[in-house]
């Protein structure tokens, strides 16, 4: 389903533009001459990791197909305050009409990439990966996931149809951990991942006995993750271990050192503060 490109990207951006434009940008139409042109720069007012510039560019280009765009900063690069991310020029009215959506997406994506980079750096040297989650802004998941990758993280499942992730409610409603795992393994097509969340050592042993090859240890201490990881990795077919649950920068390395192959961090996408980025325009 992602990455979002081509016609699918254009359709999404047109949908988002329509939400903002309504019947038209009356302020620009009533104050800026129709023939006016403008040039400008996208400026990072604070340090950040770059993500989303191709999305911003396409947003402007949908309203001004003759847009000129240059000097784009590389995705995943770290830039200091006052860095120019890109230079652009075109018809003034379309640039003004597209400005807010382009900035909203760019600010969010740079914020996510920046947060992700901090977590990736926090576990550097451990071999542990940083994963995103489905805790994304509705309608913006593809953009959020692109930003995680730009920050050096790894995408978890996109949606409910591309991976099995058995959690506490599934286990209870299925009649137990083993039943849920066995049922999923019977139905899952070749190549589809099946992961099960465990909340106790008994759950862990039951999951391993049922054939689970991916284990999610949620809301446990690093010490518990270490103990359960030793049990899991001592089995005949050691499973992949993921840790999760209110992860912070201060705590994440402890989970990596405890034996987690990956740590999933909902905060990457559900609570980031937008990066401070501005569009500074002037007449040519």
Return the pLDDT at 193. Answer: 95
Indicate whether 3 pLDDT > 80. no
- Cβ atoms of residues 268 and 129 within 8 Å: no
Query: Which is nearest to 260 in space by CA: 231, 220, 229, 224?
Result: 229
- Cβ atoms of residues 242 and 261 within 8 Å: yes
Q: Tens digit of pLDDT for each residue in 103-121?
A: 999 999 999 999 999 999 9
Q: Tens digit of pLDDT for each residue in 117-142?
A: 999 999 999 999 999 999 999 999 99
Q: Which residues are catalytic, by number? A: 100, 135, 167, 197, 218
Mean pLDDT for 152-175 is 95
Mean pLDDT for 267-282 is 95
Return the pLDDT at 4. Answer: 83
- Cβ atoms of residues 208 and 202 within 8 Å: no
Strand 37-44: give its sheet, edge to edge: 68-70, 83-91, 37-44, 277-282
pTM, full prediction: 0.95
Mean pLDDT for 161-174 is 95
Domains, the chain, in order of start with CATH, read 6-120+272-282 (3.90.1170.20), 125-270 (3.20.20.70)
Indicate whether 1 pLDDT > 60. no
**For the chain, first and last CA: distance in Å?**
40
Share of the chain above pLDDT 70, in %: 99
Share of the chain above pLDDT 90, in %: 97
Indicate whether 2 pLDDT > 80. no
User: What distance lies between CA 124 and its chain's CA centroid?
Assistant: 19
Rounded to 5 degrees, what are φ and ψ at 46?
-135, 160
Indicate whether 239 pLDDT > 80. yes
**Across all residues in the chain, what is the average pLDDT?**
96
Q: List helix spans (H) across 22-91.
A: 26-31, 53-63
User: What tokens does 104 get?
Assistant: 């909203």
Mean pLDDT for 45-72 is 96
Give residues with Cβ within 8 angstroms of 117, minimum separation 6: 49, 78, 151, 152
Return the pLDDT at 284. Answer: 84
């Amino acid at each position: 389903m992602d990455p979002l490109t081509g016609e699918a990207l254009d359709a999404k951006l047109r949908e988002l533009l329509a939400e903002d434009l309504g019947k038209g940008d009356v302020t620009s139409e009533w104050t800026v001459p129709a023939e006016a042109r403008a040039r400008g720069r996208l400026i990072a007012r604070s340090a950040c990791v770059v993500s989303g510039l191709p999305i911003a560019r396409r947003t402007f280009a949908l309203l001004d197909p003759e847009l000129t765009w240059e000097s784009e900063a590389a995705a995943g690069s770290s830039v200091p305050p006052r860095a120019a991310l890109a230079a652009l020029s075109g018809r003034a009215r379309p640039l003004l009409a597209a400005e807010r959506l382009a900035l909203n997406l760019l600010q969010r994506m740079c914020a996510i990439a920046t947060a992700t980079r901090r977590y990736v750096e926090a576990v550097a040297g451990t071999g542990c990966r940083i994963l995103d989650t489905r805790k994304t802004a509705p309608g913006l998941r593809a953009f959020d996931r692109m930003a995680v990758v730009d920050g050096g993280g790894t995408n978890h499942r996109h949606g409910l149809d591309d991976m099995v992730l058995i959690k506490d409610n599934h286990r209870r409603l299925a009649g137990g951990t083993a039943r849920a795992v066995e049922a999923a393994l019977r139905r899952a097509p070749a190549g589809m991942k099946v992961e099960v969340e465990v909340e106790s050592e008994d759950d862990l042993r039951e999951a391993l006995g049922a054939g689970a090859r991916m284990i999610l240890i949620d809301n446990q201490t690093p010490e518990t993750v270490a103990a359960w990881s030793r049990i899991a990795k001592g089995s005949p077919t050691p499973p992949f271990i993921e840790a999760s649950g209110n992860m912070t920068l201060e705590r994440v390395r402890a989970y990596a050192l405890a034996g987690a192959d990956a740590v999933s961090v909902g905060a990457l996408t559900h609570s980031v503060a937008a990066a401070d980025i501005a569009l500074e325009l002037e007449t040519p």
